[in-house]
Structure 1
Amino acid sequence: ILEVENKDGGRRLVVRPDGLDLGRIAIGASVAHSGVCLTVAGKTVESYSVYASPETLARTTLGDWQQGDTINLEASLRLGDELGGHLVFGHVDGLGRIAAIDPSGESFRLAFDMPEDLRPLVAVKGSIAVDG
């Protein structure tokens, strides 16, 4: 993250997309920023800018991001792109918190607390993105 500016109750971010082809990212494109889809509002030779609304700040950790932070970036899929893993969207419905981390062999089992109003919407064995 090159710049962070609080603006109109939200935040404007300027991002240098190391590892992404900036030529593929057009103004108006949707890019996932650590799992949060944001629309590209402006672009330079080395960076682009996005705006996170107050709603986005309330439902994500984006309000904690600072200049110099490194975040995960993923360009939108295009029709015909290979799909692997689980298909999830970058539209965030709420903010969960890690409740427990238990070792399980060579992995870990994580438990999360989540907003009560979202619990009925979670499918058994459904996919939930954790920080992207």
Structure 2
Amino acid sequence: MFTGIIEAVGKIANMEAKGGDMRLRIQTGKLDLSDVKLGDSIAVNGVCLTVINLPGDGFWADVSLETLNHTSFKQLKTGSQVNLEKALTPSTRLGGHLVSGHVDGLGEMVSREEDARSIRFKVKAPDELARYISHKGSICVDGISLTVNAVSGAIFDLNIVPHTVLETTVGQWQPGVKVNLEVDVIARYLERLLLGDKAADPKYDSSQEGNITMGFLAENGFLK
């Protein structure tokens, strides 16, 4: 698990094709690796990767074909900057929100505009994720825990303060850029919980989980 508070900006140093997937070497910059060992998890642009080698100035990790197909990793190239966060510990301050490092989908930057010293972005989420995004709720974008300032359909607004711009890859975001999105895990579990016994029905189509209606809630005892 992670918090979405970025600890360092790293750089893709090497990319090696490996039997259809990819092996990456990531230079970690100011990230403290003194407590990192083989097998540990580090979030890279919000994607949880496993450390398989520690050459000293960073780490190597394997990236599966599944990850390449469903994240912005397919846009990376040698020299690309990436947001880095080590996995949390029991004593870590939870400054952001609980983040699993499992990307739910790709968003697209729709607009960018200056707002005093901050930057405002509009981001288009996949339609199937829109139900999990709420006004003043949390969302993880390229590994960064952010607050949703407004929502209109599948488009949501972000207000990024100067510190976050300086300490992450936010400054590189421009309209058209694809970003990794992870919705609030609590929203996902709550939706599944509301299904009750229907969740165990093998005939149930999980793609319909977003079709919970007031009638469904009343029928299953959630409304009086």
Q: What CA RMSD, in Å, does the superposition of the two structures yield over aligned residues?
A: 2.0
| Residue from 131, 139, 143 that aligns with 1:120 | 131
Cα deviation digits, residues 24-82 of structure 1 (max 9, x gap): 11111110112221111222333321111122112221112222233221111111122
Cα offset, 1:128, TM superposition: 1.2
State whether structure 2 residue 83 is matched by structure 1 residue 72.
yes
Residue correspondence of structure 1 range 1-132 to structure 2 within 5 A: 1-132=12-143
TM-score, normalization by structure 2: 0.53
TM-score, normalization by structure 1: 0.84
- Which deviates the most, 83-92 or 58-67? 83-92
Cα offset, 1:86, TM superposition: 3.5
Distance 2:140 2:63 in 1: 19
Q: Percent identity?
A: 39
User: Are residues 126 and 9 of structure 1, via their aligned partners in 2, closer, same or farther at CA, if it must alter by over 3 Å?
Assistant: farther
Unaligned runs of 5+ in 2: 1-11, 144-224
Cα offset, 1:13, TM superposition: 0.2
Cα offset, 1:121, TM superposition: 2.7
Distance 2:19 2:13 in 1: 20
Cα deviation digits, residues 89-129 of structure 1 (max 9, x gap): 32111000012234444433322112112222324432112
- Report if the CA contact (8 A) 1:32-1:38 is conserved: yes
Q: Which of the two has higher C-alpha Rg? A: 2
Q: Relative to total residues, which structure has the larger helix share, 1 or 2?
A: 2
* Secondary structure at 1:90 match in 2: coil
Cα offset, 1:3, TM superposition: 1.0
